[in-house]
Amino acid sequence: MTESLEIDKLTAFHAIFPADTYATFEMWSLFSEWLREEHILEESYAIVGKKSPTEKVDRLLSTRHPSHVNIKGQWFKLSYGTPRRYDHDLLRLQWCKSRDNNYDSLIKAFSEAMPFLMAWEFDYEYNFWQNAHDPIQYESFGRSYEGLPMVTRSTTPPFDKDLVIDTSHNLGRRLLRKGYVEAVGATMYFGDAFWTRTGSKKEEIRALTFLQDECEIGRATRFTFHKKNFTTDQGKEGIVQRILRSTLYPNAQQ
C-alpha cells in the first residue's frame, strides 16, 4: 500500500486472460509497444529487484521465461502471473502518476493476438477501501471502521477469534472466481470467453438503461456504463454498480 497522497485520484487497470495465454515476454512485448504509442515508454525499469535498461528487460523475459513478473517504472507498477486456483492469468497495472488513459489499442493488440477475457480501469483509492478487510489497514491511515460489519477471519483456530471487516456485500468488491474475476467498472472490455465463463448474456448488457456506449475493439467488445470511474457506492453510481454486478455475474455466489 502506498501513501495516501500518492493514491489520491490515481487509477489502476486489470486485464484477465485464460490461464497460460501469454508468456511474460509476450505480454510485455504487447504492453511495451502500447507504452511506446502513448509516448511513455521509459529507458529503464526496475525488475528482479534492480533497475535495468528497457532492452535488457526484453532480453531477460524472453530468455528466462519467468512464470510471473513485477515491473516498476516512473509511470506505473505492473505485475503479471497466474493464480492457479482460479484458472486465469491476471495483469495488474497501478499508475504512479495521474493521467488519462485510452486502452483501446492495447485491448485490440491483446484480443487479436490471443484469447481475451475481460479488462477494466478503476479508481485506485475507491477500490482499495471497498476491498480492505483488515482493521490494521484502517488504523494505519487513521481511518475509523466503527459501525462496519465484521466477520471472523477464519473458522480455523486460532484465527476464529480474529474479527475482520466484512466486504462481501460491497459494491466495489473484487473477487477471484474460477476462470474470471468478479468486478465492475465504468468502462469494461469483454472477450467471447467471458460470456460462457460467467453465464451472462451480451443482449442483457445491451438492454441496461444506463449503458452509454458499445464498440467493437479488435476481438473484444467495449461497454461504457458511466462517464467516469466509480468513486462511491452511493446514489446513481451505487445503483449502476448493483445492477451491473447482478447482470454480469448471474451465477456468482457469496
In a domain, 158, yes or no: no
Write out pLDDT tens, residues 14-32.
999 999 888 899 999 999 9
81 occurs within a structural domain: yes
Residue 212 lies in a domain: yes
Domain of residue 19: give its range. 10-132+167-248
Mean pLDDT of 143-152: 91
Does residue 105 sit within a domain?
Answer: yes
In the prediction, which pLDDT does 160 show?
62
Q: Look at residue 140 and tell me if it is in a domain.
A: no
Cis peptide bond upstream of 250, omega within 30: no
Classify residue 162: in a domain, yes or no. no
Q: Residue 13 burial by CB count (10 A; 0-12/13-18/19+): exposed, middle or buried?
A: buried
Q: Is residue 240 part of a domain?
A: yes
- Residue 51 within any structural domain of the chain: yes
Indicate the number of domains in the chain: 1
Q: Rounded to two decimals, what is the model's pTM?
A: 0.92
- The residue ranges of DSSP E strands in the chain, in sequence order, are 11-18, 44-47, 50-53, 69-72, 76-81, 88-95, 118-123, 150-152, 163-165, 175-177, 180-182, 187-190, 213-217, 220-224
